[in-house]
């Protein structure tokens, strides 16, 4: 068994890596950006001057740089862009046409995609851009466009935060000095050939001084390094290996881990507790239906569970709130049934003792547990019935009956343990839903759990939260299958993992 567990644990990181890779590709290849220009900027989509190359304005660019969205996804071929391709892109951006002889302009959506992508590429093509700026044969409009993208290519984010190192402070200081000297040269982009020629000379002088800082002319070895390491995926995985899952899109001061931990108690309670209760109840109802096969208890429970399984949760949850919880009390008490929240308001909850707090939580999660459990219980109970009937037909069970074993002995020692293998397999595989929660239940009952948290992340295109959800859910699912394999050997000594 030890060898098997070691093999599974060694395969675990490899499996997780490919799960993260596939998820990362799907998210990044999905149409659209994690944030639109309107989300960051009040300037709108119609922008001029420097903003044309910056994708809208500095705040929008700052966001994209911070989350690594200015880099290619998996492999970086941008350092190999030829002068011909650069010239062609600049002409398309300057004249809004695919070719100079075309009469029809590029559509707005295609133009936006081109200017943003070319802006991302500009940091890797500074020499080519400078060549266009210096080329007096190029149209003035193309040279002006190259100036804007040259400035875009020198854009770098400074290190921020209270824990930056001395080396990072030195980098920030150097970056600030470079930006100030470049801004002093650029000012307004010249609108005549004479001014552009003077600007090109000043930019060449500035470029020769600072090109090492920007790695503007990488060697072949550096280009190969950029091909693998200057990508979104590598940047993300390098953080994951240090257990840094990033920050929230809407608030860089809040880390993903910290926000997940805030919701851990809600998700854990609404996932593990229903799982354990379902395991016990499905075996109980499975025994009843199996022992009363083809009798009224079997038929009635089967029909009941079939109806419950067919009713969607978005119908049951509002029904429980309106018909069971609203203005009603727990049976034989005068305690009202809560219909929202995980606990009472903090001012009331904080004044209670430990036992009172536990009772308060149980009151609040009564209806959410029913809403979460009914569908799973209906499916697992019918599965449990089938598993128990199959075990009851085995020869060793008939032998136990022939020896005069009691009903309790047969059900617990011979039937229960073997039938539980099927149930354990089904339930263990659902361990990954611990971090998924139940979106509908959490929303309707106003519980700030993982389900609503991850749904909001999908709507907001918050890559860090989505990736953490996929990684953590996959890890728990794989761990659940490993636990199920170990449970096999405990429930059935005939099964070995060697």
- In this structure, are residues 357 and 343 in contact, taking their beta carbons and an 8 Å threshold? yes
- In this structure, are residues 118 and 149 in contact, taking their beta carbons and an 8 Å threshold? yes
What phi, psi does 230 have (nearest 5°)?
-90, 65
Q: 277: which residues sit within 8 A by CB, 6+ positions away?
A: 369, 373
- In this structure, are residues 322 and 335 in contact, taking their beta carbons and an 8 Å threshold? no
State how far the Cα of 421 lies from the Cα of 310, in Å rounded to an integer.
Answer: 26
Has this prediction a pTM greater than 0.85?
A: no
- In this structure, are residues 341 and 364 in contact, taking their beta carbons and an 8 Å threshold? yes
Token pair, residue 185, equals: 């040269």
Per-residue pLDDT of the chain (498 residues; tens, 9 = 90+): 788 888 888 888 899 999 889 988 888 887 766 555 444 444 444 444 445 555 445 666 777 777 778 899 999 999 999 999 999 999 999 888 887 677 788 888 888 888 889 989 999 999 999 999 999 999 999 999 999 999 989 988 888 766 788 898 999 999 999 989 998 888 778 888 888 999 999 999 999 999 999 999 999 999 999 999 999 999 888 888 888 888 887 777 788 888 888 887 887 788 888 888 888 898 899 889 988 888 998 999 999 999 988 888 888 888 988 888 888 888 888 888 888 888 888 888 888 888 888 999 999 989 998 888 888 888 888 888 988 898 888 888 889 888 888 888 888 888 887 887 777 777 766 665 655 557 788 888 888 888 788 888 888 778 888 888 888 878 888 887 888 788 777 777 777 766
State how far the Cα of 135 lies from the Cα of 256, in Å rounded to an integer.
Answer: 49
Q: Give the CATH fold of the 264-448 domain.
A: MetI-like fold (1.10.3720)
Q: Report domain extents, the chain.
A: 35-217, 264-448
- In this structure, are residues 89 and 149 in contact, taking their beta carbons and an 8 Å threshold? no
Nearest to 422 by CA among 262, 239, 267, 286: 286
- In this structure, are residues 206 and 165 in contact, taking their beta carbons and an 8 Å threshold? no
For the chain, the maximum distance between any two Cα atoms, rounded to a whole number of angstroms, is: 109
């Amino acid at each position: 068994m030890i060898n098997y567990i070691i093999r599974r644990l060694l395969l675990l990181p490899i499996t997780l890596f490919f799960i993260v890779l596939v998820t990362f590709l799907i998210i990044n290849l999905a149409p659209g950006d994690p944030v639109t220009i309107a989300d960051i900027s009040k300037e709108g989509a119609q922008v001029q001057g420097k903003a044309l190359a910056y994708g809208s304005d500095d705040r929008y660019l700052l966001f994209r740089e911070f989350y690594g969205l200015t880099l290619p996804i998996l492999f970086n071929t941008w350092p190999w862009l030829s002068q011909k391709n650069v010239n062609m892109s600049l002409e398309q951006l300057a004249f809004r046409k695919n070719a100079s002889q075309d009469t029809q302009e590029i559509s707005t959506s295609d133009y936006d995609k081109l200017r943003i992508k070319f802006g991302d590429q500009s940091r890797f093509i500074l020499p080519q851009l400078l060549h266009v700026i210096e080329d007096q044969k190029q149209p003035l409009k193309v040279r002006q466009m190259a100036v804007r993208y040259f400035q875009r290519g020198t854009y770098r984010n400074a290190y921020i935060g209270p824990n930056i190192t001395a080396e990072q402070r030195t980098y920030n200081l150097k970056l600030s000095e470079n930006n100030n000297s470049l801004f002093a040269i650029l000012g307004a982009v010249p609108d005549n050939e004479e001014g552009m020629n003077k600007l090109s000379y000043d930019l060449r002088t500035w470029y020769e001084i600072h090109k090492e800082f920007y790695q503007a002319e990488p060697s072949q070895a550096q280009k190969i390094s950029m091909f693998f390491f200057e990508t979104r995926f590598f940047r993300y995985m390098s953080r994951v290996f240090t257990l840094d899952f990033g920050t929230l899109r809407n608030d860089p001061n809040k880390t993903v881990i910290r926000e997940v931990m805030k919701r851990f108690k809600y998700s854990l309670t609404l996932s593990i507790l229903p799982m354990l209760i379902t395991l016990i109840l499905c075996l109980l109802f499975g025994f009843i239906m199996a022992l009363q096969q083809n009798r009224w208890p079997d038929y009635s429970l089967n029909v009941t569970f079939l109806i419950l399984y067919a009713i969607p949760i978005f119908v049951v949850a509002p029904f429980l709130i309106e018909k069971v919880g609203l203005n009603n009390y727990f049976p034989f008490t005068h305690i009202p049934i809560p219909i929202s929240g995980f606990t009472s308001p903090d001012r009331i909850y904080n004044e209670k003792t430990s036992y009172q707090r536990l009772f308060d939580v149980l009151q609040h999660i009564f209806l959410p547990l029913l809403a979460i459990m009914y569908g799973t219980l209906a499916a697992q109970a019918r599965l449990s019935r089938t598993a128990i009937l199959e075990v009851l037909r085995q020869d060793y069970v008939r032998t136990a009956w022939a020896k005069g074993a009691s009903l309790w002995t047969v059900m617990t020692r011979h039937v229960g343990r073997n039938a539980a293998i099927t149930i354990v397999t089904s339930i263990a595989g659902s361990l990954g839903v611990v971090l998924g929660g139940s979106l509908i239940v959490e929303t309707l009952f106003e519980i700030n759990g993982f389900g609503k948290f991850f749904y909001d992340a999908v709507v907001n295109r918050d890559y860090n939260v989505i990736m953490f959800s996929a990684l953590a859910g996959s890890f728990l699912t794989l761990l659940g299958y490993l636990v199920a394999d170990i449970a096999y050997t405990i429930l059935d000594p005939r099964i070995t993992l060697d």
